[in-house]
């Protein structure tokens, strides 16, 4: 009877919907596009909110115009330079000024709300994109980077975008509008004085370009150091019991203080640099009003300028230098955000796991149930950056309905060998065949749905026991959960808990014993209804009697499923059909306990066997 799991993979696996998201052309184009264009592409999704903010800015800029103009008109009329105004006219102008003031406040509130909404929508969408990409990164990525470090990059870096969003793009937009209005009006009032006023602007540009590059590198260093602090905190707090037992409290405090003082040193380095340049800019822009005072006074004495126009000119001078200074300072703060954006894109550009079948096309399954469930064909593997091979030309196979025991000295590569099956790591040479198909040709999600792993790490999720079991499959009923718990010999202890299946587990299930956690994990794996069950020392924390019960139950439950169990304990060899040993990177057979499960062909012969059909397009 063919195994129910030997059927072709679900059609959704190959219908294109679950394609590797980074394989599409637009994602590849994105990686090549300049940073600014990529940012604009993200901001464009919130263009309505952005347009709202820009409109508010424009109106606010225009509402600043009446102030100096009306002031000039009133002063000139009372100093008898311009046409005289009646008391009614003056009152009307003051009422208009009051109206402008109130409108400015109202629109500022509207602008602030729209801006915050715009900002948070973008920040949250970046966090979502980063989290979703972080889940798609190959497991190998997490072998190199700590979780705390990744958490800082996913959680904190998007917040650094605020600099770009609020302090920069939006304030620059407002400043540019004010600057344009200011420059126009200055030239309208007195073009010669206006020329004197704008002469400092090119100097500001030079100062900015000098500082920009070095500041960006400084910001990047600060962000890297801040991620280091997060990593240290995450690691220390999750290992707090070990720290206590090893009495490492003082050392940990010193390490944190060292990390923090380095962070402070780097921040002050940036501050010193910024203060130097900002004060230079302030002096430059402060010199101009003095020059204008001198030049304007001479112009008034010579009768070429009215007092009202002079006051208005000085009023508009603020429209020139405040925004010009604002633009330079905002562009400088933007360097920090640009460094954060670069870090965000670094993660988004890291190629994810390959999801789809490599060569494209739909794999045809080997005929019926004759192919072994798992076959390793001359598989070699070494960890990235390491010279030594952990596995060398490993060949073995496991049939459907077989329980295979794997043993071997600690550190020989048993966990690594098992990690190859669900493609947590990928071999550099050779092939792993699942039901006769190269497993790289199977969609990753389909592959992982067929394989359940109970690893050496016994971490659960927070939530109730039932919720944890439902992580295997959301449709799990209370009855099926109970049955799985029975197989995993976990029913008794769960029943004894005051709230049974509804018992809340602390974070990562820490309020259970290691053996209880292991049994829950076995139950969860059973509920996935896998074709292949991998147990990596999954019963190591159980006493001999419980271990025997679990293994006997698994044999009874197994049916056509394949079970591979790594264990150092002798019990496993009593229950397994066959036992293999991993030694010096090679798999060698131990005594075969059940002759029925001896396989006729060696995996090497499988490579040229007609049972393995080619991939058809
Ligand atoms: N992420 C990694 N990066 C580099 N080398 C690794 C990594 N994980 C494991 N190794 C190395 O690979 C070898 C095999 O490790 P593996 O965890 O597969 O051993 P194991 O047989 O499962 O050991 P144990 O019985 O102690 O669980 C070891 O020498 C180990 O140092
Ligand atoms: Mg191991």
Within this chain, do residues 404 and 294 fall inside the same structural domain, yes or no? no
Question: What pLDDT score does 366 carry?
Answer: 43
Question: What pLDDT score does 616 carry?
Answer: 32
Indicate the Cα dihedral angle 553, 558, 564, 565, nearest 10°.
Answer: 0
**How does residue 611 score in pLDDT terms, banded at 50, 70 and 90?**
very low
Task: Let me know if residue 590 belongs to a domain.
Answer: yes
Within this chain, do residues 478 and 330 fall inside the same structural domain, yes or no? no
What φ, ψ does residue 311 adopt, rounded to 5°? -65, -45
Could you read off the pLDDT of 166-193 as tens digits, one per residue?
A: 667 777 877 888 888 888 888 888 888 8
**How does residue 85 score in pLDDT terms, banded at 50, 70 and 90?**
confident
Within this chain, do residues 62 and 196 fall inside the same structural domain, yes or no? yes
Could you read off the pLDDT of 117-150 as tens digits, one per residue?
A: 988 888 888 888 899 998 888 877 776 666 777 7
Domains held by the chain: number:
2
**How does residue 240 score in pLDDT terms, banded at 50, 70 and 90?**
confident
Within this chain, do residues 122 and 198 fall inside the same structural domain, yes or no? yes
Q: Hey, what are 364's tokens?
A: 């045809």
530 DSSP 8-state letter: -
Is residue 81 scored above 50 in pLDDT? Answer: yes
State the residue range of the domain holding 545: 400-426+442-597
Contacts of 475 (CB under 8 A, 6+ apart): none
Question: What pLDDT score does 519 carry?
Answer: 93
Decide which of 349, 379, 413 is a domain's last residue: 349
- In this structure, what CATH number is given to the domain that contains residue 66? 1.20.1560.10
Task: Let me know if residue 474 belongs to a domain.
Answer: yes
Task: Let me know if residue 107 belongs to a domain.
Answer: yes
Helix axes 249-301, 307-349, angle to 10 degrees: 150
Spacing, Cα 418 to ligand 2 middle (Å):
9
- Tell which residue, 136, 142, 154, has the closest CA to residue 20: 136
What average pLDDT score do residues 429-433 get? 93
Within this chain, do residues 326 and 455 fall inside the same structural domain, yes or no? no
Question: What pLDDT score does 613 carry?
Answer: 34
In sequence order, the β-bridge partners of residue 586 are 583
Task: Let me know if residue 152 belongs to a domain.
Answer: yes
Within this chain, do residues 409 and 325 fall inside the same structural domain, yes or no? no
Give the ligand 1 atom nearest the CA of 140: 1
- In this structure, what CATH number is given to the domain that contains residue 518? 3.40.50.300
Q: Report the alpha-carbon angle 563-7-580, nearest 5.
A: 25
Within this chain, do residues 267 and 134 fall inside the same structural domain, yes or no? yes
Which ligand has the nearest atom to the CA of 582? 1
Q: Report the alpha-carbon angle 589-439-585, nearest 5.
A: 35
Mark 507-521 as b/e (b = at least 16 C-beta within 10 Å): eebeebeebbbbbbb
**How does residue 272 score in pLDDT terms, banded at 50, 70 and 90?**
very high
% of the chain at pLDDT higher than 90: 23
Task: Let me know if residue 608 belongs to a domain.
Answer: no
Determine which residue's CA is closest to atom 31 belonging to ligand 1. 411
Report whether 458 contacts 536 (CB < 8 A). Answer: no
Within this chain, do residues 291 and 405 fall inside the same structural domain, yes or no? no
Provide the 3-class DSSP secondary structure of residue 511: coil
Spacing, Cα 537 to ligand 2 middle (Å):
7
H or E element that contains 513: none
CA distances from residue 587 to 414, 415, 603 in whole angstroms, order as listed: 10, 13, 12
Within this chain, do residues 303 and 446 fall inside the same structural domain, yes or no? no
Cβ count near 598 (within 10 Å)? 11
Give the ligand 1 atom nearest the CA of 417: 18
- Tell which residue, 4, 1, 16, has the closest CA to residue 450: 4
Q: How many residues does the chain have?
A: 617
What average pLDDT score do residues 103-129 get? 89
Within this chain, do residues 421 and 334 fall inside the same structural domain, yes or no? no
Task: Let me know if residue 435 belongs to a domain.
Answer: no
- Cα(first)–Cα(last) distance of the chain, in Å? 29
Question: What pLDDT score does 602 carry?
Answer: 42
Question: What pLDDT score does 359 carry?
Answer: 46
Instruction: For ligand 1, say whether the CB of 572 is within 6 Å of any of its atoms.
Output: no
Question: What pLDDT score does 510 carry?
Answer: 64
Task: Let me know if residue 602 belongs to a domain.
Answer: no
Is residue 433 scored above 90 in pLDDT? Answer: yes
Within this chain, do residues 345 and 406 fall inside the same structural domain, yes or no? no
Provide the 3-class DSSP secondary structure of residue 469: helix
Q: Hey, what are 53's tokens?
A: 């903010």
Within this chain, do residues 309 and 416 fall inside the same structural domain, yes or no? no
| Rounded distance between C-alpha atoms, residue 316 and residue 598, angstroms | 93
Question: What pLDDT score does 9 carry?
Answer: 33
Question: What pLDDT score does 598 carry?
Answer: 43
Helix axes 201-238, 307-349, angle to 10 degrees: 40
Question: What pLDDT score does 415 carry?
Answer: 92
Could you read off the pLDDT of 371-423 as tens digits, one per residue?
A: 788 999 999 999 988 899 999 999 999 999 999 999 989 899 999 999 999 99
Task: Let me know if residue 183 belongs to a domain.
Answer: yes
């Amino acid at each position: 009877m063919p195994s129910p799991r030997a059927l072709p993979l679900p059609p959704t696996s190959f219908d294109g919907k679950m394609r590797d998201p980074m394989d599409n052309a637009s994602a590849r184009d994105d990686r090549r596009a300049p940073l600014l264009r990529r940012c604009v592409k993200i901001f464009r999704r919130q263009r309505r909110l952005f347009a709202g903010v820009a409109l508010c800015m424009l109106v606010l800029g225009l509402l600043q115009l009446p102030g100096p103009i009306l002031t000039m008109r009133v002063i000139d009329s009372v100093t008898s330079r311009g046409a005289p105004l009646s008391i009614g006219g003056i009152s009307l102008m003051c009422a208009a000024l009051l109206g402008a003031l109130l409108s400015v406040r109202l629109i500022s509130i509207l602008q602030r709300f729209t801006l915050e909404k715009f900002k948070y929508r973008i920040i949250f969408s970046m966090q979502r994109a980063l989290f979703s990409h972080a889940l798609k990164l190959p497991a190998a990525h997490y072998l190199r980077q700590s979780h705390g470090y990744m958490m800082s990059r996913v959680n904190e870096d998007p917040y650094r975008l605020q600099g770009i969003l609020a302090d920069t793009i939006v304030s620059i937009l407002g400043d540019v509008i004010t600057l344009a209005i200011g420059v126009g009006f200055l030239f309208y009032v007195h073009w010669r004085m206006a020329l004197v006023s704008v002469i400092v602007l090119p100097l500001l540009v030079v100062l900015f370009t000098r500082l920009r590059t070095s500041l960006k590198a400084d910001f990047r260093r600060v962000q890297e150091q801040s991620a280091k602090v997060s990593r240290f905190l995450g690691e220390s707090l999750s290992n707090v019991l070990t720290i206590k037992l090893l009495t490492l409290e003082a050392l940990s405090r010193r390490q944190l203080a060292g990390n923090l003082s380095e962070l402070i040193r780097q921040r002050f380095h940036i501050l010193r640099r910024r203060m130097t340049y900002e004060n230079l800019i302030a002096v430059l822009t402060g010199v101009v009003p003095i020059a204008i005072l001198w030049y304007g006074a001479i112009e008034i004495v010579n009768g070429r300028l009215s007092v009202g126009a002079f006051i208005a000119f000085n009023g508009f001078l603020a429209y020139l230098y405040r925004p010009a200074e604002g633009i330079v300072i905002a562009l400088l703060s933007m360097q920090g955000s640009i460094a954060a954006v670069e870090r965000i894109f670094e993660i988004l550009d890291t190629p994810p796991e390959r999801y789809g079948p490599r060569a494209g096309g739909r794999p045809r399954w080997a005929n019926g149930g004759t192919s072994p469930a798992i076959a390793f064909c001359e598989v070699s593997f070494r960890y990235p950056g390491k010279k030594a091979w952990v596995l060398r030309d490993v060949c073995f196979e496991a049939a459907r309905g077989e329980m295979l025991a794997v043993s071997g000295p600690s550190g020989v590569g048993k966990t690594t060998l098992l990690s190859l099956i669900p493609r947590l790591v990928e071999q550099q040479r050779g092939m792993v065949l699942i039901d006769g198909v190269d497993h790289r040709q199977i969609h990753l999600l389909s592959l992982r749905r067929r394989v359940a792993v109970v690893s050496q790490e016994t971490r659960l999720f927070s939530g109730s026991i039932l919720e944890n079991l439902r992580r295997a499959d959301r449709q799990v009923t209370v009855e099926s959960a109970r049955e799985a718990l029975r197989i995993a010999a976990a029913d008794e202890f769960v029943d004894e808990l005051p709230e049974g299946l509804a018992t809340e587990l602390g974070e990562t299930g820490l309020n259970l014993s290691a053996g209880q956690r292991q049994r829950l994990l076995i139950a969860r794996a059973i509920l996935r209804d896998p074709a292949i069950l991998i147990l990596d020392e999954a019963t190591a924390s159980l006493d001999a009697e419980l271990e025997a019960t679990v293994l006997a139950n698994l044999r009874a439950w197994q049916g056509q499923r394949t079970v591979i169990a790594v264990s150092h304990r002798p019990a496993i060899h009593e229950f397994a059909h066959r036992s293999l040993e991993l030694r010096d990177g090679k798999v060698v057979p131990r005594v075969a306990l059940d002759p029925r499960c001896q396989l006729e062909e060696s995996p090497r012969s499988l490579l040229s066997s007609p049972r393995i059909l080619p991939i058809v397009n």
